[in-house]
Structures are given as C-alpha cells and as structure tokens.
Amino acid sequence: MISTNDFKTGQTIQFDGNIYAVIEFMHVKPGKGSAFVRTKLRNLRTGAVVDHTFNAGTKVERAQIDKKKMQYLYAAGDSHVFMDNETYEQIEIPAVQIKDELNYIHEGMDVQVMFYDNSEILGLSLPDKVVLEVVETVPGVKGDTKTNALKDAIMQTGLLVKVPMFIAQGERIIVSTYDGSYVSRDK
C-alpha cells in the first residue's frame, strides 16, 4: 500500500479495479477543511486519462508493472509482433493498444513492453527521444537558414514532423516521443 502523500509522477497504482499511472499530482491544503491530492491518472489498459481527487493520506494499492526489453519485428494485420531478445519468444500486441507508440517505432528497434502480473500486456514504454530517418521532405532553399522557418518531413514510421530547412531527405534526426517535435540531427 502507498499513501497519496507519497505519489510520484510515473508511479503505477491499482484503483477502482483498474491500473493507472500517475501523470500529474498536486497537494492542496485549503484554508478551511482537510488537505487533498488532485491527480491526473492514465488508465494503462484503455489509455484514457481521468482526473481524480484523493483525501490526503488515503492508501491505495501499488501496481507491480514489469518491463521487458523486446525487439519490434513486424506488423501482422491488426497486430504487431515483438520478440524477447533472450528467449526468442514472440508476442503479438493489437494495434489499437499501441496506436500512439507506432509513430515512433520501426522494425528492428528495441522497446520496453509493460506487463502486469507477468501475463497481461499493457503496452509499450518508449524512451524520451528516438532516432528516425527522414523519407520525404522538400529541399531547403538557399539563404533560408537565418530564420526559424520549418518545413514538413515524413519519417520512416509515417510520422509528420516540422523540421528546420537544412534537414534533407535520408538524414537521421532525433524526435521527442512526448510531443513528436524535432530535437536535433543524429550524430
């Protein structure tokens, strides 16, 4: 059991028969009345984000989430196949369960697959930044480097990213998985 006073961003809890990850939390001590904790929680089974207010000091069950490093192999219809790098065991995850993450993963990439009770697959845990290749973009115009002008670029995963004018087709760039924005060129 964990107290709501000890919440941390990214922590996983069991509450109301579901498994949630704490996205945001704020301790509030009003002038009158008792303190409470206002939270924003992501349901790890459905992906829905809910707001919930707990009384300060309320105990909730901690959810034990295991992460296993697996390699993304390929898409198979409406699901995607991942392989355990140690046992070579393969699992399939439905596309609807990982639809947001599919913009950032490509064949051969290692990702963290989240499991609950070593059996239920909850989804993927992506790094903060990933390296993707630009497959389509318009050429930059000479002399357009002084302004902060951006152009559209399509990545190998199909993700559309706004990039600086000097980025060319075939280059590898670093993209933030938080908001899908350009970070820098890959070294």
HEC profile of 89-102: CEEEEEHHHHCCHH
Alpha carbon distance, N-terminus to C-terminus of the chain: 45
The confidence score (pLDDT) of residue 161 equals 93
User: Domain 129-185 - what CATH class?
Assistant: mainly beta
The confidence score (pLDDT) of residue 116 equals 87
pLDDT tens readout for residues 127-181: 889 999 999 998 866 665 566 788 999 999 999 999 988 889 999 999 998 888 9
pLDDT tens readout for residues 31-64: 888 999 999 998 888 878 899 999 988 999 998 8
Share of the chain above pLDDT 90, in %: 47
Edge-to-edge strand ranges of the sheet holding 18-28: 2-3, 59-62, 12-15, 18-28, 36-43, 49-55
Two domains, one topology: 2-62 and 129-185: no
Residue ranges per domain, the chain? 2-62, 65-125, 129-185
> Judging by beta carbons within 10 Å of its beta carbon (0-12, 13-18, 19+), is residue 142 exposed, middle or buried?
exposed
User: Domain 2-62 - what CATH class?
Assistant: mainly beta
What are the beta bridge partners of residue 36?
28, 55
Consecutive H or E run containing 71: strand 65-76
The confidence score (pLDDT) of residue 33 equals 87
What are the beta bridge partners of residue 43?
20
Share of the chain above pLDDT 70, in %: 96
The confidence score (pLDDT) of residue 92 equals 92
CATH match of 65-125 with 2.40.50.140:
yes
User: The pTM is what?
Assistant: 0.75
Question: In this structure, are residues 15 and 72 in contact, taking their beta carbons and an 8 Å threshold?
Answer: no
